[in-house]
Amino acid sequence: MTPRQQSILVGAVVTGILSTSYLGLLNTICCLGVIVGGIVTTQQYAAYSPGAIASGDGAVLGASAGAVGAVLSALFDVGLRPLGLDSQSVQQTVQEQLMQNMGGQGMSPEMMQQMQGDAPGLLSAMGIALLLLNVVVFAIFGAIGGALGTTLFGGEDAGGAAPGQVVEAEAMDE
């Protein structure tokens, strides 16, 4: 595995974990979990890279980590369902408690189905559409995080010319 792929994988795992429905509050704050994943990706890549990282490279790394992180987040959510740690299980528990406190009796299964509606599963048409939307949105915010990470960890020439390129001002000095 190349350092680039390894950095993307690390950033994607961070993005996926921070974007699970259980920790989803972080993403209501301007996709903070995805941006942090992009920053981590660039930091990891900078640790293995001998030269400065161009801001465009950081954005591409962050976007890649964001897209993969969206898929991992969906898979993590599916894995958390049996444990009751996904948002649907928590919401169902809260609704049941509210109804018990209000009426003194539990809800019938038919009432629960009506209140919850048909929640989209991962393999339903709506679930796939939401996943694709998440991939696009996570890629955009991951790119922002990657560009920020380049500014923070990209080296002395962060955001400048890519390694190996000669800038006109430098060429004039020679």
Q: What is the pLDDT of residues 111-136, one digit of tens each?
A: 555 554 544 555 678 878 888 999 99
Whole-number pLDDT of residue 101: 61
pLDDT tens per residue, range 56-67: 999 999 999 999
Please tell me the total count of domains within the chain: 1
pTM: 0.69
Buried b (16+ CB within 10 A) or exposed e, 21-53: bbeeebbeeebbbbbbbbbbbbbbbbeebeebb
Residue ranges, the chain, pLDDT below 70: 22-27, 81-123, 156-174
96 lies in a domain?
A: no
Q: Is residue 37 part of a domain?
A: yes
Residue 147 lies in a domain: yes
Domain that holds residue 140: 3-86+131-160
